[in-house]
Structure 1
Amino acid sequence: MVTEPRTIARRTTRKVFRTRSTHIRDPLVDRVFMIGVYVLLTTFLLVVLLPLIYIVASSFSDPLAVSSGRVTLWPIDFTFEGYERVLSDDQIVTGFMNSLFYTGVGTLLSVTLTVAIAYPLSRKDLWGGGVITMAVVFTMLFAGGLIPTYLVVQNLGLLDTRMALILPQAIGVWQVIIAMVFFRSTIPDELYEAAQLDGSSDLRFLWSVVLPLSKPLIAVIALMYAIYQWNSYFDALLYIRDPDLYPLQLVLRNVLILNESSVGTDATAAMERQQLADLMKYSLIVISTVPVMLIYPFVARYFTKGVMVGAVKG
């Protein structure tokens, strides 16, 4: 019986793949290492994820169930009472809107100033660029301190104004360094020379060439500034006295302290007040976290690329 050439070819191919599959195998040490990596990553995921699930479950649970510790990973006696109490408080709503303003305006100003200082310092033909860079880095290592900063804000007339929470922290030295490294490694000198031959000015080159190529960088530093502005409350505690200018984080702090106070009330009222405070605490945490979680998906595609700024390219 004569075997067809196609059949012989199939058998030969199967033998080759079978032989390769037997020879190309991960060593035992590599497999153990990968198992350890997956176990470690799963542990980190659970450490981060379980508290978040608990907070969300507690925010939708009955106040008595929350204060008694019966909530685990699923709401008990599902209710929106915590969110209703939070959203019905005019001070919390005002603080939320103030935080949106501080985060939006502050992030826009910070990104603009960071690019404005980082791009010229990244250019090799900037006279005195090395000295200016050293001066910028010096401010990161040696700060003036709390009292001198407060006196500067006071003498500039910024106390009890919105700019007091935006201008003093408008530029981050770490973000400036990241932007400088990005511009030096991404924007070649040949591109600038070609733009000059076409008659482009420095400002036009920055707007039409540098910024479109710097979307990953802008996304990363904007996210850094936005998270800092959104979570900041200490500056407001120092510089703001008008409750209508309080950011959300400072409002949350004050609301929680007031709700936990039981002075002048009987035992039953104090217990109910404490139960409501526990419920509002988790509801406020969820509300204060939602804006950041909504921003991240829009910058996620740039974030992975942007965090590799300065990495060695092979």
Structure 2
Amino acid sequence: MSRFTPQLTGAHVLVTGGSKGIGRVIVETFLAEGANVSYGARTVRGDEFSLFKDAADGARAVGSVLDIGDPASIKSWVENAAKEFGRIDIVVAMVSSSSSQLETISKSSIASPLFTEASPEAWTKSFQADILGLWTLIDATTPHLEARSGTGSIVVISSVAGFEAKHPSARGPYTTFKRAQATMAKDHARVLGPKGIRINTVTPGGIETPTIVHPDGTEELSSFGKMKRDKPEFMDILKSQVPLGDVGEPQDIANAVVYLGSRLAKYVTGANIFVDGALSTFL
């Protein structure tokens, strides 16, 4: 019997959208497990994790500017990351070109839908990033993951907004494409399984992302923090819709991602794990 631990020392993880929010905590959690991380985002300072002191076994994080709407940018990032660490073990795809679920809600009336002015151009841009970008990421990393001889893993981050029609934003691409990402992951499980690669989805509900403190001491308020500041009544309403009675933390999502990425979940593929406090059952 093996130890009930992720056993990720020396592994290499790719994380899109890893500079802030849930992605940032995912990066930190893998570092704490001794895994090296390559993270990509629209803007990267390079010092995002310089204050993080819990990395184990010399694990380090390398950030790169990444445009998920540009296939060439994705392919270049993947190959450079593989060259840097000599391998790719786990891929975490979580970035979306659209505004987040909570950002959308904060701009709307909580009680009524916000019918966004979604142009064909907005839908096209979101499709290129959220759908074609994810497809390109999976395709570009498959040869590297297949080389791991049965331990390669992909984790896609969706959103409960993609599964519930009562989401406050209507007409925009966010809900449609978050559902499509989960479907794409499930579909790929049939193709990647014979290659020894697992692919699963984690679907968050309301997650309170923390304020970021940069190395120079400046603070960057998260989208959730801005919402609490500008629409404080939202928190009580959101909590009232969660059977567990509270919103989640980024660590809740990171824990699920590490589990699915590791050999603890070696027989789990094509699954979609809701980490939402049963919010989806209320909606």
**Fold agreement, TM-score > 0.5:** no
Q: Which has the higher contact order (CA 8 A, sep 6+)?
A: 1
TM-score when scaled to structure 2?
A: 0.26
* Structure (1/2) with the larger helix percentage: 1
* Structure (1/2) with the larger strand percentage: 2
TM-score when scaled to structure 1?
A: 0.24
Larger Rg: 1
